[in-house]
C-alpha cells in the first residue's frame, strides 16, 4: 500500500470519527439527551484518536502518531466498557443511559467504534514503508484540500464540544445525570 492510499485512509478515519461525534451532537441538541461525564470523556478519547491521525497528515507517518491514536482508543474503550458495566444489570427503573440506537446505547456503540479504531490503526502499522523518511511528506493538492477540510471539521467539533461542555457543567464538576445546562440555571460552580 502506498503512502497516498494510507493518507486517504487517515483522512477517512477522521471523517468517520467526525460523523460519530456529529451523531452524538444530534442526540445532545436535537433529542435533548445531555451527555454524562463518561460520555464527555469518550468524546475526548475520540478527539485523541483523531489527533494521532492528524499528526500523520501534518508531520508524516510515524509509529508514535499511531500510538497516540491507539492509546486514546484504549482509554475510550475502557471508559465505554465501564459505562456498559454500570447498566449491565439494571434495576427496575434503569434502562440504560439515553435512547438506544439499533438496540444498543451510544456508549455501547462507542466501544465498538474504539475497538474498530484500534484494529484499523494496528492494520495501518503493518505497512513499514510509510515510516521511511522522505524529504517531502506532502502528496498532492487534493490531499492538502481534503486534509484541510478534515482538520476544519474536527476543529469545529472540538470547539463546539468545549462550549457545550462549559454550558452543561460550568467550571465545576459535571452532574452524574444531567438534565439541563447548569450555566443557564445560574449554577456556575
The answer to the question of residue 43 being in a domain is yes
What global pTM score does this model have? 0.87
The answer to the question of residue 117 being in a domain is yes
Say if residues 48 and 68 touch (Cβ distance below 8 Å).
Answer: yes
The answer to the question of residue 155 being in a domain is no
Position 184 scores a pLDDT of: 62
The answer to the question of residue 188 being in a domain is no
The answer to the question of residue 165 being in a domain is no
The answer to the question of residue 51 being in a domain is yes
The answer to the question of residue 118 being in a domain is yes
The answer to the question of residue 178 being in a domain is no
Which three cell numbers mark 74?
A: 484504549
Position 182 scores a pLDDT of: 65
Place of cell 509509529: 63
Burial per residue of 141-167, b for 16 or more beta-carbon CB atoms within 10 angstroms, e otherwise: eebeebbeebbebbeebbeebeebbee
Quote the CA–CA distance of 70 and 149 in Å, as a whole number.
23
Spell out the per-residue pLDDT of the chain, length 189, in tens.
888 889 889 999 999 999 999 999 998 888 888 888 899 999 999 999 999 999 998 888 999 999 999 999 999 999 999 998 887 876 666 666 667 778 788 999 999 999 999 999 999 999 988 888 765 555 577 777 888 888 888 899 999 999 888 888 877 777 777 766 666 665 554
Say if residues 55 and 62 touch (Cβ distance below 8 Å).
Answer: yes
Range of the domain at 81: 3-149
Position 59 scores a pLDDT of: 86
CATH of the domain at 102: 1.20.1550.10
Domain count, the chain: 1
CA 17 to chain centre: 6
Quote the CA–CA distance of 33 and 25 in Å, as a whole number.
9
Amino acid at each position: 500500500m502506498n503512502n497516498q492510499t494510507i493518507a486517504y485512509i487517515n483522512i477517512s478515519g477522521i471523517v468517520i470519527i467526525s460523523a460519530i461525534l456529529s451523531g452524538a451532537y444530534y442526540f445532545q441538541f436535537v433529542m435533548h439527551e445531555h451527555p454524562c461525564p463518561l460520555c464527555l470523556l469518550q468524546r475526548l478519547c475520540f478527539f485523541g484518536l483523531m489527533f494521532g491521525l492528524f499528526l500523520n497528515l501534518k508531520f508524516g507517518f510515524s509509529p508514535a502518531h499511531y500510538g497516540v491514536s491507539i492509546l486514546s482508543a484504549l482509554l475510550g474503550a475502557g471508559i465505554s466498557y465501564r459505562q456498559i458495566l454500570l447498566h449491565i444489570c439494571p434495576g427496575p427503573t434503569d434502562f440504560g443511559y439515553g435512547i438506544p440506537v439499533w438496540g444498543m446505547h451510544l456508549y455501547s456503540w462507542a466501544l465498538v467504534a474504539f475497538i474498530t479504531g484500534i484494529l484499523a490503526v494496528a492494520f495501518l502499522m503493518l505497512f513499514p514503508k510509510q515510516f521511511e523518511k522522505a524529504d517531502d511528506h506532502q502528496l498532492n493538492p487534493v490531499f492538502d484540500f481534503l486534509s484541510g477540510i478534515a482538520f476544519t471539521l474536527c476543529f469545529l467539533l472540538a470547539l463546539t464540544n468545549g462550549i457545550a461542555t462549559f454550558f452543561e457543567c460550568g467550571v465545576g464538576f459535571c452532574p452524574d445525570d444531567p438534565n439541563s445546562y447548569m450555566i443557564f440555571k445560574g449554577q456556575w460552580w
